[in-house]
Amino acid sequence: MIQKILLSLVLGLVFISGGDIWAAEVPSEITINIKEPFIFDEAQKPVTKVTGDDGFDIVANYIRMIYIYGASIIGIICVLVMVISGIQMSFGGLASDAVSQSKERIFQALLSLALLFCSALILKTINPGFFTL
């Protein structure tokens, strides 16, 4: 049992360091390439690399990228739900069931957008550099 744990730790160190754990010089910045970019920078170029000073910075930068991507997808979905529900409400006419369901969906979409913006505000308050790539 202990041998397996030690072996996995050694293999993990070799994997993290790129196979050169006894190098005389430690790189100042580590870069990992992403095969499929899912976020764009300010110049609208796809971000294909995650950089950081150590493993923690790389993971934090990757989580930041995932959060920005997920938040944009959730925002687009919420706006589409509100538009479709508004159209359904206008075509609902006298059917009070359809109108009340549409109102409920619009309220839930607005609530999810408010929750998304509040979570972004909390993340920005904790770490002012969270949304910078």
Residue 19 covered by a domain: no
pTM strictly above 0.75: no
Q: State residue 113's pLDDT score.
A: 92
Tokens of 133: 């790539």
In a domain? residue 97 = yes
Does residue 104 sit within a domain? yes
Q: How far apart are CA 2 and CA 4, in angstroms?
A: 5
Cα–Cα distance between 97 and 90 in angstroms, integer? 13
Domain presence at residue 132: no
Return averaged pLDDT per consecutive 10 residues of the chain, 133 residues in all.
52 48 57 72 76 78 83 92 92 83 93 91 85 68
In angstroms, the Cα distances linking 13 to 6, 9, 38, 59 are: 11, 6, 28, 16
Query: Which domain does 85 fall in, by range?
Result: 25-126
Q: How many domains does the chain have?
A: 1
If we measure between CA atoms, which residue out of 36, 31, 54, 57 comes closest to residue 46? Answer: 36
Q: What is the pLDDT of residue 20?
A: 46
Can you give the C-alpha Rg of the chain in angstroms? 23
Contact 1, 15 (CB under 8 A): no
Evaluate whether residue 4 is within a structural domain. Answer: no
pLDDT at 3: 55
